Amino acid sequence: MKRFWLFYIGILIFLPVFSQQEIARLELGNRDPKPEFYEYCPTDKGLVTLGPMTTVSTREYGLIKYDQNLKKQWMKPVFEQNGRKHLDLLTVIGENIMVFVSEYFPKEKVVKTFYSAYDLKGKAIIEDQVLTVYPNQTEQKVDLSYILSPDKRKLLCFKDLSLRREADQVKYYLFDDQGEREQDGEIIFKYTDDKFSLVDLRVSNEGNIFALGKHFPAGKNTMSDNYRYLLFRYDRSNSNLQEIKIEFDTKIITDLAFRLDKDENVYLAGFYSNMSSSRIIGTIFRKISGTGQTLTEAVEEFSDEFKAKFLSQGQIERGKELANFSMHHDQNDNGIILRSDGGVLLMAERYYQTYQTFRDVYGYWTQQTMHHYEEVILTSIDPSGKIEWHAIVDKNQVDLNPSRCSYFYAIGEKGAYIFYDYSPRKQGPNVYYNLVEMDGQTSVRIPLFKDYRFGNEYYPQFSYQVSNNEALIVYYTRNGRGLSMVRMKIN
């Protein structure tokens, strides 16, 4: 699911990319309604959007379904906005379109989350079923998180119940590929909330839940390096919670992420440091079976050859480590990609801030925060945990708005495509990409669009891969007044 905030919405246009690689084109004019969400439909390769039904009023919200040629198939109203409703999620699971909406009820002082399901022809299967009821919270929404299983046939909705001093708890709701609410439950960790932090939570194809967390023996706000990672497997058939401790001797695990395969094997990988939690000097890798047995474990320090790309020889000899690199951490992208042979590909990006102080037109001193998103390191790890190669994509992005920086990646048969905004000297801006091939060879920086122009703004978080050989690339046009989407082949 991708969400578009209303003040950014404009025109949807599919433009040519990679010369003859355009698959379909959708154009919405100024009089067309502007969606807040869009979602790809794998079954028919179409598109579904959710937003106001007309440009005249934002009261009636509805779904618009497009076919594989991006021709409009149908429109269907789904709810009326009364000022107290919040759109939580649009997703497609199996052949069902699901919509989640939260509404604040002032008399009861609660927020209720409702869900509805529709088939790909627009027929309502489930309408306005209550999912949750919680006391009013910030922005009158429940802050549920959503994640699909690897085969995208199960949907997990969950909420971390914070401020539970006796034990950290997660409330979850599981849906099947028919849009039916399959199971509700509560996962209770034995660690108190002030000493435990949930890092990531995922659901397997079987509906079992895996969680990665950090335990801080002395408390989360004391010693930042004094923590350990814990992995949990929740068996939904008997509500049994299994804890798996993750220890790598005296190494400080800087970053750790995990993915599940179709057989419920867990792939844990990330970076470690010998100095602090803000630096990295090598990789860690562990494969764990669904029953908790460690199948593979490896720790490997970066080679001096790789370190030399960022450090001087003297710094290497003194044991200095790489700073400001980290992986992404969200449900859709946590920086780890599973390889077909049982290895993994890790991605880490260098990010830091600088500050500029100046006097404004009124004579007041003002400080600006500049966001630096620089190199992306891709590290390929074979099934035994050994580092095969590193690749570096240098973006060198600096902007006041961090949303315009960073990158989007898509994995194809040739390798990994890294897409990002870039403005070369004496040239206009464009969306550029580098192809990192299977052996680590990296292409030169290549402009993506022939007609990209000033006033366009690329936001990587709105693009995503929709199949093994297709991706949607999204950017704003006319200084945010329009929007372009490109459905493209990545091979």
414-459 per-position pLDDT tens digit: 999 999 999 888 888 899 999 999 999 999 999 988 888 888 889 9
239 confidence band (pLDDT: 50, 70, 90): very high
DSSP 3-state of 308: coil
Of 406, 441, 410, give the one whose Cα is nearest residue 420.
Answer: 406
- Give pLDDT tens digits for 189-220: 888 878 888 889 999 999 999 999 988 887 77
487 confidence band (pLDDT: 50, 70, 90): confident
Q: Does the pLDDT at position 181 exceed 60?
A: yes
What does pTM read for this prediction?
A: 0.88
DSSP 3-state of 368: strand
Structural contact between residues 194 and 219, judged by C-beta atoms closer than 8 angstroms: yes
74 confidence band (pLDDT: 50, 70, 90): very high
Token look-up 């030399």 returns 308
Instruction: Lowest mean pLDDT of 2-11, 231-240, 272-281, name the range.
Output: 2-11
- 429 Cα distance to chain centroid: 25
Structure confidence at residue 332 (pLDDT):
66
CB-side exposure of 142: number of CA atoms within 13 Å? 30
CB-side exposure of 299: number of CA atoms within 13 Å? 14
Instruction: Lowest mean pLDDT of 65-69, 333-337, 468-472, 476-480, name the range.
Output: 476-480
Strand pairing report for 464-467 and 470-477: antiparallel
Strand pairing report for 344-359 and 430-437: unpaired
Distance CA 210, CA 334 (A): 15
What whole-number percentage of the chain has pLDDT above 90?
52
Structural contact between residues 453 and 462, judged by C-beta atoms closer than 8 angstroms: no
Q: Does the pLDDT at position 18 exceed 70?
A: no
5 confidence band (pLDDT: 50, 70, 90): very low
Helix residue ranges, H only, 243-383: 304-307, 313-317
140 confidence band (pLDDT: 50, 70, 90): low
Query: Any idea of the CA torsion for 312, 373, 412, 302, to the nearest 10 degrees?
Result: 30
Distance CA 193, CA 166 (A): 7
Q: Does the pLDDT at position 69 exceed 90?
A: no
Structural contact between residues 421 and 429, judged by C-beta atoms closer than 8 angstroms: yes
Structure confidence at residue 372 (pLDDT):
95
CA–CA distance from 218 to each of 212, 227, 228 (Å)? Answer: 19, 8, 11
Distance CA 147, CA 173 (A): 11
**Residue 435 backbone phi and psi in degrees, to 5:** -100, 120
Distance CA 206, CA 262 (A): 9
* Dihedral of alpha carbons 470, 204, 258, 37, sign: positive
Q: Does the pLDDT at position 148 exceed 50?
A: yes
Q: Does the pLDDT at position 139 exceed 70?
A: no
Q: Does the pLDDT at position 127 exceed 60?
A: yes
Distance CA 295, CA 287 (A): 5
Exposed, middle or buried, 335 (CB in 10 Å: 0-12/13-18/19+)? buried
29 confidence band (pLDDT: 50, 70, 90): low
What residues contact 339, with CB distance under 8 A and at least 6 apart?
A: 345, 380, 383
Structural contact between residues 55 and 73, judged by C-beta atoms closer than 8 angstroms: no
The average confidence (pLDDT) of the chain is 87
DSSP 3-state of 188: strand
Query: What are the tokens at 115?
Result: 């869900």
**Residue 315 backbone phi and psi in degrees, to 5:** -65, -40
Q: Does the pLDDT at position 329 exceed 90?
A: no
Structural contact between residues 45 and 22, judged by C-beta atoms closer than 8 angstroms: no
Q: Does the pLDDT at position 25 exceed 90?
A: no
Q: Does the pLDDT at position 258 exceed 80?
A: yes
Structural contact between residues 102 and 112, judged by C-beta atoms closer than 8 angstroms: yes
Q: Does the pLDDT at position 262 exceed 50?
A: yes
